[in-house]
Amino acid sequence: MKALIKTRNTRSERVFLVGVELKSRDRAELRESLDELAELAQTAGAEVVGDGIQKMESLNAATFIGKGKADEFGKFCKANDVDTVIFDDELSPAQNRNLEKILECKILDRTALILDIFAQRARTREGKMQIELAQLQHLLPRLTKFWGHLSRQAGGIGMRGGEGESQLEADRRKVQERIDKIERDLDAVRRQRATQRAGRQRSNWPLASIVGYTNAGKSTLLNALTGADVLAKDILFATLDPTTRRLKLPTNQNVLLTDTVGFIKKLPHGLVEAFKATLEEVVQADLLLHVVDISHPQAEEQIAAVNSVLAEIGASEKPTIMVFNKIDKLDGSGALNRLQEKFLHAVGISATTGEGISTLLAELGTQLRPTRAFLELRVPHEQSAVIARLHKVGQVIERRYNGKTARFKVRIPPQHHDEFAPFIVRKTSAA
């Protein structure tokens, strides 16, 4: 797919950002959000010319911001040679169109911008497929309304069933066909990954997934721990494709460590959906390392944003170590102490100086030990909810069917043992 943000040889695309202050979102929060949007825009290769804020009671259904304000921004954009206006919130297709008319330039929203960055970053076939799927899904409803609007405008009643509509049907079908094809291909990728995972399970090495807000230092941590050479850069979404490396703990335990795509506030739902194959590494993990840039003023909001994505993919109940990174950038220990009090398993580190890494390795060893013990369960086939739950919270190592029951050899985090108590046949502690 074509990038939405163009970087011309002569000059970068000039963009103006717009945010809305609402009762539910005060000025300070909006400021942070707009600063992040500016970073996203720069990451996409644009030059930010300025931004504008409107304080509103409720949003305008037709133009998102007020008509008067839109006119004012329009004048500014004309005077300052702005190519594109980017809104911090997702616009409806109608709002997008109306704003295009008033502001007389290209209109994008945060979702389209994030999708655009992902499109520029995708390297592997899987990454490219996932991002194209998300872009098409974002496009499809817009295409529908856009064409619907055109045919009404062009001919109204007389146009119904005419040229416009068949064009609409043709294009929607084309987009839908492509979506179906990508979904099928991604399915194949998922199956292939499941096979790889099965291989890993035979090796019985536990899997830890590094998650966290974009730019928190996930790749830097993986590199520091395993000597991997994943691109670590001060840009948003440096990493799209997962990388897995083996880490040998000082206790001689082996663990597989996966670095994956970063999360962000208002991550488009379609994107989470599209990245399910990549995020499956997270869903399958025995343990999560949640990396936080503790030097960031919005560290706590970023933790919340990451947690909500984890919930969306069904990984919020995983045992988690909170890794408070970049402590070398902190002025005092106030922020670290405050957050360490809030979370059970928390370690302060600097992935660049190495401070705290040995504590983190020790914590990893402690956290992984219980998951190395196996349970053997016998579950009647009709208990499908129990079996589904087992796959959700545990890691199934072996499965045998005989007669009316299924036997499972699984690793289940200790806090979930009670739930399965009636089905436990044997507890085995592995060497």
Ligand X SMILES: Nc1nc2c(ncn2[C@@H]2O[C@H](COP(=O)(O)OP(=O)(O)OP(=O)(O)O)[C@@H](O)[C@H]2O)c(=O)[nH]1
Q: Which residues bind Mg ion (CB under 5 A)?
A: 218-219, 238-239
Residue 220 near ligand X by CB under 6 A? yes
Residue 326 touches which of Mg ion, ligand X, none (Cβ within 5-8 Å per kind): ligand X
| Cα gap 375→378, rounded to integer Å | 10
Residue 216 near ligand X by CB under 6 A? yes
Q: List the one residue from 326, 374, 406, 412 that touches ligand X (CB under 6 A).
A: 326
Place of tokens 């163009």: 6
Instruction: Report the residue number, 52 or 217, with the smaller CB distance to Mg ion.
Output: 217
Residue 238 near ligand X by CB under 6 A? yes
| CB neighbour class for 264 (10 Å; exposed up to 12, middle 13-18, buried from 19) | buried
Instruction: Report the residue number, 218 or 290, with the smaller CB distance to ligand X.
Output: 218
- Please tell me the number of Cα atoms within 13 Å of 55 on its side-chain side: 5
Residue 271 near ligand X by CB under 6 A? no
Q: How far is the CB of 351 from ligand X (least distance, A)?
A: 4
Site pattern 346..385 for ligand X (x: CB under 6 A): ----xxx---------------------------------
> Which of these segments, 150-158, 190-198, 218-226, 412-420, binds ligand X (CB under 6 A)?
218-226
Residue 69 near ligand X by CB under 6 A? no
Residue 215 near ligand X by CB under 6 A? yes
Instruction: Report the residue number, 238 or 390, with the smaller CB distance to Mg ion.
Output: 238
Q: List the one residue from 151, 209, 239, 284 that touches ligand X (CB under 6 A).
A: 239
Contacts 24+ apart (CB under 8 A), 339-345: 339/292, 339/294, 339/299, 339/300, 345/319, 345/320, 345/321
Instruction: Report the residue number, 329 or 338, with the smaller CB distance to Mg ion.
Output: 329
The string of DSSP letters for 228-280 reads: ------SSTT---S-EEEEEE-TTS-EEEEEE-PPB-TT--HHHHHHTHHHHH
| Cα gap 110→39, rounded to integer Å | 11
Identify the DSSP state of 108: E
Q: How far is the CB of 114 from ligand X (least distance, A)?
A: 12
Residue 103 touches which of ligand X, Mg ion, none (Cβ within 5-8 Å per kind): none
| Cα gap 44→4, rounded to integer Å | 9
Give the count of residues interacting with ligand X (CB under 6 A): 23
Q: How far is the CB of 213 from Mg ion (least distance, A)?
A: 11
For the record, the structure tokens of 330 come out as 């902190």
Q: How far is the CB of 307 from ligand X (least distance, A)?
A: 16
| Under 8 Å between Cβ of 126 and 266 | no
Place of tokens 């076939």: 125
Residue 209 near ligand X by CB under 6 A? no
Residue 237 near ligand X by CB under 6 A? yes
3-state secondary structure at position 339: helix
Alpha helix segments (H runs only) across 290-409: 299-312, 334-342, 357-368, 384-393
Residue 136 touches which of ligand X, Mg ion, none (Cβ within 5-8 Å per kind): none
Calculated CA dihedral for residues 195, 289, 412, 312, nearest 10 degrees: -80
Which residue has the closest beta carbon to ligand X?
A: 262
Residues that bind ligand X (CB under 6 A): 212, 214-220, 232-234, 236-239, 262, 325-326, 328-329, 350-352
